[in-house]
Amino acid sequence: MNREYKPKFLIVSTASWFPIARLAMALAEAGCRVDAVCPPRDPLSKTGVVQRIHFYSGLLPLRSLERAIQKAQPDCLVPGDDLAVRHLHRLHQQAKTMGAAGKDICALIERSFGAPESFPIIAARSAFIELAQKEGVRVPETGVLNDFDDLRKWASKHGFPAMLKANGTTGGAGVKIVRNLTEAEEAFRTLQAPPLLARAAKRALVNQDNSLIWSSLLRRQSVVNIQGYIAGREATSAVACWEGRVLASLHFEVLQKAHAFGPATVMRRIEHPEMTVAAEKLVRRLKLSGLHGFDYMIENGSENAYLIEINPRATQVGHLALGQGRDLPSALHAAVAGQALGASKKLTENDTIALYPQEWVRDPESPYLKSAYHDVPWAAPELMRASLRLRNKRSNRFFRPMADAGTISRPSPVVKLAKSNRDLDF
């Protein structure tokens, strides 16, 4: 391609998640044109870099995504959440049945994600862990629970504690730690059950999120996995890859979280050879393209990294440019544009990153807001206004579930800084 060519990326968001707005800004800064398909009032509309917003319908998701693709004519798709990934995988299946009419959509989705034979493996925790084990990657014991008999057999063989995880959930909402069979049976019953209609209706009315409606109406049960518990420190990797090759990667240890099973709010960048090799093996084996994340537990008393799951999408650190080989947006831009990767800037020399607004929402007086690199998007005043408004709501769509989010009792460091910035009108 011509070196002046600017590839177009279509970001697909169903969850109004703040970090994907940061990724849109990073892709634009890397030289990409950016469109988005998302719900109304999504943070993506506040970035100032998205050229066109396309409407996402939770009731007719595949149709709304197909229309957005037809209008945007993107070179690459970037899903911002797990539901967006599932929609795009289903759209690929649907397009395959359409013959020549679906050829372009199939090609675009395969170009954006990689080999289609990897889609079912990525979608199932147990299948992915089994493949990782075959590739020589360190993993915990993992199984699928179809009924209570499966649970009891697993418990008699492996014991407790254990982790129960429902497929298709995100943000820690479908994860429970269990310490005995009674807790395990109760957790299995809860995680497997279809969402209550009242919950689905509330999500649709309050958050404009219709994603639970069909599962509730059709009484779809979730697939529940069980995984051996690894006592240790949480860690995560984010990679940009293309046709089975890792182009850039970031590895972090989690220092602070929103809540027990929720997203990280403060992380420290690390070098971890085992995590690097694991990511390279799996990207190569699955022939992945695009942005992906891998979650680990680093075992207490050792540096052994146990891979626990894959996130086949952008993660909340994907926008961070931390130097050569650690700038995912620039690496992906170069791959899609067919250009050589140039020099990459480094946002900070501080390896500890306080994510904005995640850590500020968790605790506006957190010491990490001063000691870490606080990743505030000063270049996007409208996005900051949106985050300031959302901070005062207990049900933050970009940061759920949150048990301790309340109103600001006194001016936070971000508000103090924002008031001194002439570009912001508070």
Q: What is the pLDDT of residues 388-407, one digit of tens each?
A: 876 666 444 444 433 333 33
317 within some domain: yes
141: left (phi over 0), alpha (psi -120 to 50) or beta: beta
Q: In angstroms, what CA-CA distances link 98 with 93, 106, 119, 330?
A: 9, 10, 19, 35
2 within some domain: no
Q: Quick check: 309 pLDDT over 90?
A: yes
Same domain, 176 and 50: no
Query: What pLDDT does residue 403 have?
Result: 35
Same domain, 302 and 392: yes
Q: In which domain, by residue range, is 248 found?
A: 232-419
Q: Quick check: 270 pLDDT over 90?
A: yes
Same domain, 86 and 183: no
127 within some domain: no
Between CA 27 and CA 33 the distance in angstroms is 8
Query: What pLDDT does residue 214 have?
Result: 57
Q: Mean per-residue pLDDT for 282-286?
A: 98
Q: Mean per-residue pLDDT for 16-33?
A: 95
Omega prior to 364 cis, within 30 of 0? no
Please return the burial class of 287, using the count of CB atoms within 10 Å of its CB with bins 0-12, 13-18 and 19+. Answer: middle
Q: Mean per-residue pLDDT for 150-171?
A: 87
Task: Locate 85 and state its tokens.
Answer: 């990934």
Same domain, 152 and 178: yes
Confidence of residue 342 (pLDDT cuts 50, 70, 90): confident
How many structural domains does the chain have? Answer: 3
Query: What pLDDT does residue 208 have?
Result: 52
Interval 101-146: pLDDT, tens: 999 999 999 999 999 999 999 998 889 999 999 999 999 999 999 9
From the CA atom positions of the chain, what is the Rg in Å? 21
Confidence of residue 410 (pLDDT cuts 50, 70, 90): very low
In eight-state DSSP terms, residue 199 is: H
Q: Quick check: 423 pLDDT over 50?
A: no
Same domain, 178 and 32: no
Query: What pLDDT does residue 210 have?
Result: 60
104 within some domain: yes
Same domain, 220 and 247: no
Same domain, 398 and 261: yes
50 within some domain: yes
- Residue environment code for 61-74, b if the CB has 16+ CB neighbours within 10 A, otherwise e: beebbbbbbeebeb
- Residue environment code for 187-221, b if the CB has 16+ CB neighbours within 10 A, otherwise e: bbeebbebbeeeebeebbeebebbbbbeebeeeee
Same domain, 163 and 285: no
Q: Quick check: 249 pLDDT over 50?
A: yes
Same domain, 281 and 370: yes
CATH number at residue 18: 3.40.50.20
Same domain, 255 and 373: yes
Same domain, 298 and 376: yes
Q: Mean per-residue pLDDT for 235-254?
A: 98
- Residue matched to tokens 């590895």: 251
135 within some domain: no
Same domain, 162 and 257: no
- CA-wise closest residue to 241 among 128, 122, 325: 325
Interval 78-111: pLDDT, tens: 999 999 999 999 999 999 999 999 999 999 999 9
CATH number at residue 397: 3.30.470.20
Query: What pLDDT does residue 166 have?
Result: 87
